[in-house]
Every structure is written in structure tokens, then in C-alpha cells.
Amino acid sequence: MTAFEPRDPLWEERVRRSFARQPFMGHLGASLSHLAPGEVDIEMPHRSELTQQHGFFHAGSTTSIADSAAGYAALSLYPAGTGVLSTEFKINLLNPGKGEKLVARGRVIKPGRTLTICRSDVYGVTGDREIHVATGLFSMICLEGVED
Amino acid sequence: MTAFEPRDPLWEERVRRSFARQPFMGHLGASLSHLAPGEVDIEMPHRSELTQQHGFFHAGSTTSIADSAAGYAALSLYPAGTGVLSTEFKINLLNPGKGEKLVARGRVIKPGRTLTICRSDVYGVTGDREIHVATGLFSMICLEGVED
Amino acid sequence: MTAFEPRDPLWEERVRRSFARQPFMGHLGASLSHLAPGEVDIEMPHRSELTQQHGFFHAGSTTSIADSAAGYAALSLYPAGTGVLSTEFKINLLNPGKGEKLVARGRVIKPGRTLTICRSDVYGVTGDREIHVATGLFSMICLEGVED
Amino acid sequence: MTAFEPRDPLWEERVRRSFARQPFMGHLGASLSHLAPGEVDIEMPHRSELTQQHGFFHAGSTTSIADSAAGYAALSLYPAGTGVLSTEFKINLLNPGKGEKLVARGRVIKPGRTLTICRSDVYGVTGDREIHVATGLFSMICLEGVED
């Protein structure tokens, strides 16, 4: 993994502010737990509202934090005055979504002027034990003239 | 599109019951709006809790109903005494998630003993106008000995 | 499926010329079999060089014509003076790749200035019988200042 | 990355024999360059037959070795008397396919009785310089009663 140089000196504040303006993350009870240039982690404690019919985290809730983690990893490297939008992604659900919380780790694989490609891995955490719940690849587009 | 024969005569009741036991669908305010063998539609009215930082439906909420619609389309064709789990999917976000509601239309492409492949298309609906918001491909696995 | 308006009046000649300059298509024995704005079909007769260890068309050869069909479907709608490049795709292999030939049908789902999203379906054809071998989603990028 | 235990003591011979029986790999001029349990690398020297209209490796040829590397990484962990088939994959093309040769590195992420999930990364190699050309996720199914 290469180290990335942020192009906006205020990248961290910008990511935190944008995350705070995503009502859906609040609705899931998700929060930022790690930020570095090209790296964003999001945590989501277990609540029954987030589960499917067998009691596991729903693939949709798992995917939602994976997508936001990837999107904000991309945004951390964008120049000021631009915004981020997911154009597509793919996710493999490796193990049932179990744990006291899920953690999604979004990482930039390749930054680009238009498209930034990221991966995001989701882990189910119970105490200090981690299960690899999901892995995915995400394409994020950089929008000019959009405030993020 | 071929017509599909359900293998469980009680398929419709089973899909409705399982959907009702997905707390995450309730948390999103989503409901079943169409059922046929190999076909399930899910609706989700606009609420600010479901949006991202630009006010559109979050890719995660869009994907969540796309995934459930695909999963229940698969389940509608499963034999009694089996359950459904998403193993992987891919989604392209074609237009910003705008509308009074989103409708996800899950359709079985190819049923199988182990894997059932579905597509799911999501539309943003305002009055009688529809925008194509997302299209995806989903692989659903059939679990023996799991009550769904 | 909406009808699409080509932006380059010479789109057909351009697609044919570009296809003829893809040595890999020649190496696979593939040829164009249908062209319309936003629609391209590619055929590939069975030859043992294209198969895997069980005698079926290799997923790689199947995918190669699916990708080219999608790319040229996109290119058929591009303005003059631009080129096409695949940025990502996803494919589900629905049935073993059997038949006297494979036909890939690339269709534009959503054209865009930067990204054009296509699907491509591959069929194994024997006489007048068709088997659905694969279905995929493809993101094509439009490159300015590249001759295609 | 965990170390994996092969279940078939003759796994290496079996992977080599199966690869030798894939005519498509020969047609591409591809060869095995690294084998370990859960790990397979495949190399493909540059030849004009493998390129697209701009002179880069065609996305199809790039994907073909990525897919075979992932499939054989999975097969290296399968029990004797079973075979491997790709059920689906997704690939992001990160940089144009340039180099004296491409190397695809297939790695098992999660082995399973039915599905084994792998990633495969493709690099363009010129001298001792490597460019990351593609990254993908692959689902491989284990077929009972098929000799591979």
C-alpha cells in the first residue's frame, strides 16, 4: 500500500463534516473510527433494527457502511471544491454478519482525477476477535463544483 | 423472461412472513409491493433518514432494498425447509437516487439448486414518472435446514 | 429499451474499423454480427483453442467477447474524436459455455458523457437452440482526444 | 493472509496437469509461474495477438489470466476428486495493460465447501518495474465427481 498525499489540507475536517451530514449513517448508528489519507474506518454497533430474518446484520446494512467507508477514503484525497458519488460496487459476503459491532475499512487502491477505485473490508468484532464478513471493490467518481 | 414454477405451494405466505421478520426492512420503512414466482418488488418512501450528504437516497439504502428484492425473488422458488442468503452482488448506480419513493424490482435470471442468479433494478418514482436509479446482479445461495 | 441517437453520423464505419484493429478479436476468431446505435453483437465459433479443461468455452474467452460487445455498443454512441476503454465489469456465468458458437449481445443501459453503463449477455448457440451462458454489467469510459 | 492447508497431498501435480489441459491458456501463451496452497501466479508475455485497438493488452486477455489464476488458487485447496468452475467475477481495470508481460496473482480469500472466494491482481511488468493493471474478486464453485 502506497502512502497518499491529500490535495486538500483541510481533508480531515471535510470528511468529518460530510459524514455528519449523511442522515443515513446516523439512522444506522454508524460512526467514524479511523481517518488517514486514503483510509477511513466506520463502526456500527449491533442493534436488532439492522438485522435480517436470521438475526445477522442485513447485507444491506453491512454494505452501507462498506460503501460510506470507501467513499470517504476517496474523498480524503479529493481537491477542495469537489464531491464524491458511488458509481458502482461489488461485494462478496464471506461470513454471516455476526458480532458486537461491524467495522468497515475503506482503502483507496488507485486514486484518479475522475474515478478513484477503493476496496472495503467489513469485519464482525466481538471482544478482540474479528471475523471477515465482507470484501468489496468500489468505483467513486469525483464531481466538480459540488460541495462535500 | 421464462415463467417459473414455485416448488413450495406456500411460497407467497413464506416470502411475506420472512420479509416481516427482517427488522432492517422495517427500519428503512420498506414494504412488499409485488409478488409472483421469481419476482418481488419492494417500495421505500422518501425520508430524510435514508439520504446521504447531497439529499439523495444513500447508495446503501438503495442497495438494501435491491438486495432484499433479489433475495425474496430467489426464495419464492426455493423448496420448503430452505433459507436464502446473499453471497455476492454488484450494483451500478445509474442516476442520483431521487423521487417520492424508490421501487426495487428483483427478478430471477437463473434458478439453481445451490445458486440462484437474480437481477434487481431500482427506480425513483415521482407521480407516474420513473427514473432508473440502479441495476444490479445478485447471487443467492440456498441453505438446507434453515427455516425462512 | 429506449432508442438511442448516435452523435457521430459515421458511427457504424467507426465501430467496424476499430473492431478490425483489435488483434485479440481476430486471435479468438470473433466477428461482428449485429450493429445498431447502442447495440453490438459479436460471434465466436467453437474451436478447441478457446476452451478450458472440461472442453467448455473458457470463462476468459466468453468474457472477452462480452466485454468487446459492450465496449462497441458504448462507442456507437460516442461523439467523433473519442475512444472507449473498459473501466470495470462483472459477469455471472450461468451455464457451461457450450455450443457451435457463442454470441455476445452488448446493449447500452445508460449513456453518459464520462461513463456509459452496458450489459452484455452471452448465449451458446447450437442450430436454432440458445443457452444463456453469461450475463454481465460493464462500465465504459469515454476518452477525449483518442482516435478509435 | 492465513496459511492454508491443502486437502489433497497431490494438489501441485493436479493444478499443473489441469492447467496443461486448458487449451485457451496455451492459445494466450500463458504459463504457471508460482504455486503454493491457495496461491497461483500466471504469466503472459506481450504479443500483438493479445491487444486491443490502442495496442494495450485487451481487457479480455488480462481477465482471462486473472480468472485462471484465481480458479487454480481455489483448486489447490480442493479435496481430490473435485473440479473447479468460475461462477462469477468482477474486475476493475486500474491502468492500461502495458508491459513486457502481465502477471496475474490469484489468492484465496476464503475457502469453503461449496464456494471459494479469491482475489486476483494483474501487474504489467517491464524489467523490474510493475504497474497495477487490474484487481478482481472471483467466486469459484467446487464440483463433486468432476476430475480436474
What pLDDT digit, counting tens, does each position of C15-40 carry?
A: 999 999 999 999 999 999 999 999 99
Query: Taking the domains of chain C in order of start, what are their residue ranges?
Result: 11-144
Q: How many CA atoms lie within 13 A of D116 on its CB side?
A: 29
pLDDT in tens, A109-135: 999 999 999 999 999 999 999 999 999
Q: Which residues of B touch A48 (CB under 8 A)?
A: 23
- The interface pTM score, or ipTM, of the predicted complex is 0.96
Of C123, A91, C74, B70, nearest in space to D90 by CA: A91
Banded pLDDT at B108 (limits 50, 70, 90): very high
The C-alpha atoms of residue C130 and residue C121 are separated, in whole angstroms, by: 12
Per-residue pLDDT of chain A in tens (148 residues, 90 and over written 9): 568 999 999 999 999 999 999 999 999 999 999 999 999 999 999 999 999 988 999 999 999 999 999 999 999 999 999 999 999 999 999 999 999 999 999 999 999 999 999 999 999 999 999 999 999 999 999 999 887 8
Counted across chains B and C, CB pairs separated by less than 8 A come out at: 34
DSSP code of residue A78:
S
Question: pLDDT value at position B3?
Answer: 81
Of A71, A26, A72, nearest in space to A47 by CA: A26
* Strand runs labelled E in chain C: 31-36, 39-45, 82-93, 101-110, 115-126, 129-144
Task: Provide the edge-to-edge strand list for the sheet that holds D39-45.
Answer: C31-36, C39-45, C101-110, C115-126, C129-144, C82-93, D82-93, D129-144, D115-126, D101-110, D39-45, D31-36
Question: Exposed, middle or buried by CB within 10 Å (0-12, 13-18, 19+), for C112?
Answer: middle
The C-alpha atoms of residue D33 and residue D15 are separated, in whole angstroms, by: 12
Top CATH class, A11-144 = alpha beta
Question: pLDDT value at position C145?
Answer: 84
Question: pLDDT value at position C2?
Answer: 60
CB A70 within 8 A of CB A64: no
What residue in D sits closest to B139 (Cα-Cα)? D88
Of D45, B91, C37, nearest in space to A87 by CA: B91
Percent of chain B topping pLDDT 90: 94
Dihedral of CA atoms B121, A71, B98, A90 in degrees, nearest 10, equals: 0
pLDDT in tens, B52-92: 988 999 999 999 999 999 999 999 999 999 999 999 999 99
Mutant choice from D63, D137, D139, D140 vs A, greatest count of A C-beta within 10 A: D137
Question: pLDDT value at position A2?
Answer: 60
Comparing CB atoms, the residue among C109, C110, C135 nearest residue B137 is C135
pLDDT in tens, C76-101: 999 999 999 999 999 999 999 999 99
Antiparallel, parallel or unpaired: β B82-93 and A82-93: antiparallel
Average confidence (pLDDT) over D20-35? 98
Question: pLDDT value at position B118?
Answer: 98
Question: pLDDT value at position B126?
Answer: 98
pLDDT in tens, D63-108: 999 999 999 999 999 999 999 999 999 999 999 999 999 999 999 9
The C-alpha atoms of residue D12 and residue D6 are separated, in whole angstroms, by: 9
Q: Which residues of chain D are at the B interface, by a Cβ-Cβ cutoff of 8 Å?
A: 87-88, 90, 114-115, 117, 137, 139, 141
DSSP code of residue C135:
E
Q: How far is A116 from chain C (nearest CA, A)?
A: 11
The C-alpha atoms of residue A90 and residue C92 are separated, in whole angstroms, by: 12
The verdict on a CB contact (< 8 Å) between B90 and D90 is: yes
Of D78, D76, D40, D43, nearest in space to D62 by CA: D43
Average pLDDT, chain B: 96
CB D43 within 8 A of CB D30: yes
CB A30 within 8 A of CB A65: yes
Question: pLDDT value at position C14?
Answer: 97
Instruction: Give the contacts of B129 (CB within 8 A, at least 6 positions apart).
Output: none
Dihedral of alpha carbons A24, A42, A35, B96, sign: negative
Mutant choice from B88, B110, B117, B137 vs D, greatest count of D C-beta within 10 A: B88
Q: How far is B5 from chain A (nearest CA, A)?
A: 24
Question: pLDDT value at position C8?
Answer: 97
Q: Give this prediction's pTM.
A: 0.97
Nearest 5°: the CA angle C81, C82, C86 is 160
Question: pLDDT value at position B2?
Answer: 59
Average confidence (pLDDT) over C2-11? 91
Q: Which residues of A touch C87 (CB under 8 A)?
A: 115, 139
Q: How many CA atoms lie within 13 A of C7 on its CB side?
A: 11
| Cell reading at C39 | 447495440
Task: Give the SS3 label for residue B136.
Answer: strand
Selected residue with higher pLDDT from B105 and A148 = B105
